[in-house]
Amino acid sequence: MSALRKKFGDDYQVVTTSSSGSGFSQPPPEKKKKRQRFVDKNGRCNVQHGNLGGETSRYLSDLFTTLVDLKWRWNLFIFILTYTVAWLFMASMWWFIAYIRGDLNKAHNDKYTPCVANVYNFPSAFLFFIETEATIGYGYRYITDKCPEGIILFLFQSILGSIVDAFLIGCMFIKMSQPKKRAETLMFSEHAAISMRDGKLTLMFRVGNLRNSHMVSAQIRCKLLKSRQTPEGEFLPLDQLELDVGFSTGADQLFLVSPLTICHVIDTKSPFYDLSQRSMQTEQFEIVVILEGIVETTGMTCQARTSYTEDEVLWGHRFFPVISLEEGFFKVDYSQFHATFEVPTPPYSVKEQEEALLLSSPLMAPSLCNSGEKNSSLDCLETLEDNDSTTKLPTKLQKITGRDGLPKKLLRMSSTTSEMTYSFGDLPMKLQRISSVPGVSDDKQVGKASKINTEPMSKSVADLPPKLQRLAGGGRMDGHLPPKLRKMNSDR
């Protein structure tokens, strides 16, 4: 246990999977109904097209691709059937010419020149066609110059044979050289994991390459398939959403020499922003992973796919390290490729964590006002009122402050003036000395600043009505204050 903690850290926890020796028998877990997958673990898309009607003719317009997409047993059947029919048809044509000319009855007459020598029945006509088509040329059966129809049929046979060979052999070659089998040596972890990484809740899974040949320009993409309903009431089955696995930072471009852990940071832009450990038990979704790259040996593009359903995502788990440093090389232990271990992870969603953080720190809301350089104090108050982040002042304090009932434009004028006046007064003494101009005393600087700042203040107050001037006046404000507050102001 101590060796494991030393290797994986203090957050390593042992997961007990056996209940033997526990002293009590646990009820067997309920067998969860197997959910229908959109993409199987081996990458096969579980989709069937039906009720095509007259659209099936489109498959014949692209016959070559249709044959390549067929399964191997159908390809072999079509391959053998096409050659058999073509051979029988052409052999019948040669036998028919011999029959029309009467060569079958005069085949053993040495003085008679037939169309094709030594063809006196259908098997001999079939052998002549095979020898000609395969360019074997035994020399026993051959065409003569006394048969123009045989020469025309020979030309037609050569052209038709070349077309059939090119089509069928090319189809078989493309099917054998498809990079689908290359995807068999690209591995994905059986489960995905959610845990903390770099202080952020992260969805992780692992990919690996079993071959020494590299995947050039390997790129990975993730799609979230989840049914949802729009605000207009439209139901979208299997709606596809993009999961960011490093597109903005270039982390989706892989150097797939050793197993890599692909990460999706769960933030405000993530579809899993409100996903928690409890909600995973009721959610239904499927994560489709697509790995693309160019096969180094053939130069063809290869694509490997897999998927993870909600029951294959482990909350609070992390993958075991599989790379170790040996003498002169790095060793990859694929026996631990799918293994995970538990780590402490908050069971709450990122949305719940952020809300709890805002509620626990009361200074978070006022800090939003200080983030903008050009925001006035009145704008901050309006923002906080809209967000319900602050409570309103009592009526008595609103009357004391003298701003209750003032128009917003006047409050903006007074707030900007007060901010300008007290900008130097809020600084420490050393910074006030540094900010002063060299060669000019501090009193002069303060006098100039007060003179500059009081001019707009006096103008703004002069524009107010008489009652508001009495309320907004600097020296007349003390008359409305209680005795204790007036005494505090005089002491200051």
CA gap 217, 251 in Å, rounded: 12
For residue 216, list its beta bridge partners: 294
pLDDT in tens, the chain (492 residues): 444 444 445 444 444 333 333 333 444 445 556 678 999 998 889 888 888 877 778 888 888 888 888 888 999 999 999 999 999 999 999 999 988 888 888 767 777 888 888 888 899 899 988 888 887 877 788 888 888 888 899 899 999 989 999 989 998 888 888 888 888 899 999 999 999 999 999 999 999 999 988 899 999 999 999 999 999 999 999 899 999 999 889 999 999 999 999 999 999 999 999 999 999 989 999 999 999 999 988 888 999 999 999 999 999 999 999 999 988 899 999 999 999 999 999 999 999 999 998 888 655 544 444 444 444 444 443 443 444 444 444 554 454 444 444 444 434 444 444 444 444 444 455 444 544 444 444 444 444 444 444 444 444 445 555 555 554 544 444 555 566 656 666 665
Domains recognised in the chain with CATH numbers:
66-178 (1.10.287.70), 181-353 (2.60.40.1400)
CB-based burial of residue 254 (10 Å sphere; 0-12 exposed, 13-18 middle, 19+ buried)?
buried
> What's the confidence (pLDDT) of residue 480?
52
Three-class SS state of 119: coil
> What's the confidence (pLDDT) of residue 360?
82
Parallel, antiparallel, or unpaired for β 317-319 and 340-342? antiparallel
Tokens 């957050």 identify what position? 11
Contact 224, 241 (CB under 8 A): yes
Query: In terms of DSSP H, where are the helices of 136-273?
Result: 148-176
Which region holds residue 91: left if phi is over 0, alpha if psi is between -120 and 50, else beta?
alpha
What is the distance in angstroms between the CA of the first residue and the CA of the last residue of the chain?
Answer: 65
CB-based burial of residue 396 (10 Å sphere; 0-12 exposed, 13-18 middle, 19+ buried)?
exposed
Cβ contacts of 104 within 8 Å, gap of 6 or more: 98, 119, 120, 121
Contact 187, 180 (CB under 8 A): no
Tokens 């809209």 identify what position? 386
From the list 341, 312, 315, 285, the residue with the least C-alpha distance to 41 is 312
Does the pTM surpass 0.75? The reply is no
From the list 308, 304, 310, the residue with the least C-alpha distance to 292 is 304
